[in-house]
Copies of this chain bind each other. A is one copy, B any other.
Amino acid sequence: MSKTWQVYLSGEIHTDWRDQIEAGTKAAGLPVVFSAPVTDHGSSDACGADILGAEDNEFWYDNKGAKVNSIRTSTLIKGADIVVVRFGDKYKQWNAAFDAGYAAALNKPIITLHDPDLRHPLKEVDGAALAWAQEPAQVVRVLKYVIDGTL
């Protein structure tokens, strides 16, 4: 039985890039299981206080949520064969860069996905990546090539 590849899709949660990659990969018939952070922004912010108890202090409100999210994200990154990190044009997105550093220290192959105008501020992240894609379709093609060996 051939290998099922685990691919973690880190980063931007406000556009449909994950859907595009998943649809393209499915269309290509590739044996891939995708995972990702929780992409519902509201839930992602609220999860800590909502489940574990309210917090007046904003720092601890955020801290509680971030840690609950990291139970998911750190586990999935550790289990991934490949980590795709997407940077969009909005927000600070430090969590995406954090994930890239985490993956790099674990010697995981990283694919970055971002527009050319983010080239300079992302140079350290791209420097740790094995591929830089500008479009989701390119990520699908990289996965296809890497997994079944055809262009």
Contact = CB atoms under 8 A, between A and B. Distances in A.
A14 interface: no
A150 B43 contact: yes
Contacts of A56: 57
Nearest to A80: B75
Residue from the set A40, A79, A81, A105 with the largest chain B CB neighbour count within 10 Å:
A105
Interface of A: 1-5, 33, 35, 38-40, 43, 46-48, 50-53, 55-60, 62-72, 74-76, 79, 81-82, 87, 91-107, 109, 111, 116, 118-128, 130-134, 138, 141-142, 145-147, 149-151
Q: Say what secondary structure dominates the interface of chain A.
A: helix
Nearest to A58: B119
Given A105-B105, A105-B106, 20 more contacts: A1-B4, A3-B33, A50-B151, A51-B131, A52-B132, A59-B119, A60-B60, A62-B127, A63-B127, A66-B124, A66-B127, A71-B109, A72-B146, A72-B147, A72-B149, A75-B82, A94-B94, A97-B101, A98-B125, A102-B105
A105 B106 CA distance: 7
